Amino acid sequence: MTDRSAGSQIRAVVLDIEGTTTPIAFVHQTLFPYARARLRAWAGDPANATDLAEVARRFSSEHAADLARGDAPPDPRTTLVAYAEWLMDRDRKSPGLKLMQGLIWERGYQAGELRGQVYPDVAPALRRWHAANVRLAIYSSGSALTQRRLFQSTGDGDLTPLISAHFDTGVGAKGESTSYTNIAEALGLAPANILFVSDVVRELEAARAAGLQVVLCVRPDNPAQEGAGDFDQVSDLGQIVVTETLQ
């Protein structure tokens, strides 16, 4: 059991989603294929013109960065869907793609075609931490809207009342330490009073560099992480113990 009651008191727990609260398979075998199958229809729907224009604006700057790196992607000005598929094929953490996917998933959640998945230990841990007056937040490359829909529709019920903040790449990339500094500032807490839990070593390294406490989440289906031995590890969020904090 990882006891976080000693040292700097934990006043907030920030959780990654994929591979931490939610099986990687749900993201890659359910959410991604759902969005891919509906990209063309969504882009061709006149009702989505305003959102499509914002996606195209983001794609334009991302495409320029791709070219500067020496890539040769489709030009989104003429083949926006092909560019989106090119990004998906490479699992790029593209803000434009995440927006597009999130809007498609939103329709799926509203229609009842999608329901969020979390590991069995997640809801009990969230409820226990919330009862101890520990603030809870989510940080994922998926949009804040997508995060909310996932946690609203789990088999354990609507978990969003337990979560006080949702962060996406609007605060920065997950591998950059400044992103975690931005999260600490948004929460109004010292970095040392925040615990970040993720299944990705690179993200934990960035968070630790920003002064956060960190724990590596090791789930059965997660890929092995080089450098994992440098971090405290849990396989169940119930293994993380934090003491009650005064608000």
pLDDT reported for residue 6: 41
Residues 175-204 have pLDDT tens digits of 999 999 999 999 999 999 999 999 999 999
pLDDT reported for residue 242: 87
Q: Are 132 and 219 in a shared domain?
A: yes
pTM listed for this prediction: 0.89
Q: Are 18 and 124 in a shared domain?
A: yes
Q: Are 135 and 35 in a shared domain?
A: no
Judge whether 246 lies within some domain.
Answer: no
What is the domain count for the chain? 2
pLDDT reported for residue 101: 94
Task: Kindly report the CATH number assigned to the domain that includes residue 49.
Answer: 1.10.720
The low-confidence residues of the chain, meaning pLDDT below 50, are 1, 5-7
**Domain edge (last residue) among 110, 131, 147:** 110
pLDDT reported for residue 162: 98
Structural domain that includes position 45: 27-110
Q: Are 135 and 73 in a shared domain?
A: no
CA distances from 211 to 3, 11, 35, 151, 177 (A): 18, 14, 36, 28, 9
Token match 């976080």: residue? 4
pLDDT reported for residue 2: 57
Q: Are 86 and 125 in a shared domain?
A: no
